[in-house]
Amino acid sequence: MPRHFSRAELDLLRVLREGFLESEQRPGTGMPPYWGAEDELALYDETFGARIAWKWDAVLGELRARERLPAGRSLLDWGCGSGVATRRYLAASPGVERVVLWDHSHVARAFAAERVRAEFPHVAIETELGPEPPDVLLVSHVLGELAQEGREPLLAAAAEAGAVLWVEPGSRASARALGAVRTRLLATHDVLAPCPHQGACGALSGDAWCHFFARPAPEAFTAGPWTELARELGIDLRSLPYSFLALTRRGTRAVPPAPSTRLLGRPRLTRGRAQLTVCRAEGVAGVDFLQRTDKRVFKRLEDVAGEPWIFDATLEDGRITALTPPPE
């Protein structure tokens, strides 16, 4: 990150952030192209792009730990922006031979290609869409920026891809929009994560939304530029909400069974009680977990950022009476 942001840089970042936040709350309305020059992309890449990279690290880390990370020789990054999703995926999953970086902005495509080539010179890079479906499709923070009709080519590409890794900001509106994408792609794909089941999305039938929290890199709390960015733009550096979807084309790989229950969002802790929103095959429900049930597990629930809480549990009358927590 730069040692100090100029007023012009802060003004640009503020405009970008306001546009992103508005699009998150009203996905499907569309967002006009906003990349004007390479230096704007460079500024985005080391600020907002870095925060997106931490979300991708959380998703990829979970998939790798659970042995569910899709791999392949060809990769398509749809709406690549600065190419941060591709760089994080290539770091986590070697073996990719060809990457297609596509964005509505030719400036973004060129910038992303330069950054990817600098870190992964052995990978062939293209910046135009071809007829062959990719082994892995990456999609990152696009639902708010695409008008409804603009989603159709992307959804068609997803339906043909061998696997889909899709990350969105984690707002209620964007998470529910991603849930609708999941519903559509269930016709062709199996779910790898985050869901503990292959059925309908229970979050779409109630007020809850499927989101999680990544853990920021340590420099977010130790480097001066991050402090300046938080102060000037009103960003809570501790909070990195995201929603995601990992799918594999049906019949291409066996999906191992998952534990029965997944925690959504963060628990709400009061004295001796944690209120959890959980996803199960039966649907999404609010349940209680009492401290006396397991004091050590209750303590872990104080901070669940960066840790996928997927576990087996016994529920009785709206309360978890037994819980096998994820490994520490």
pLDDT tens sequence across 172-206: 999 999 999 999 999 999 999 999 999 999 999 88
- Hey, which residues does 262 pair with through a beta bridge? 279, 310
The predicted pLDDT at position 183 comes to: 97
pTM, entire model = 0.94
C-alpha triplet 151, 51, 8: angle, nearest 5°: 95
Residues of the chain where predicted confidence (pLDDT) is lower than 50: none
Any idea which residue has 């890794």 for tokens? 165
CA 113 to chain centre: 22
The predicted pLDDT at position 177 comes to: 92
CB-based contacts of 122: which residues, under 8 Å, 6+ apart? none
Q: Where does residue 121 rank: exposed (0-12), middle (13-18), buried (19+ CB within 10 A)?
A: exposed
The predicted pLDDT at position 27 comes to: 61
The predicted pLDDT at position 24 comes to: 67
CA separation for the pair 157, 142 (Å, rounded): 14
The predicted pLDDT at position 32 comes to: 63
CA separation for the pair 50, 312 (Å, rounded): 34
The predicted pLDDT at position 239 comes to: 86
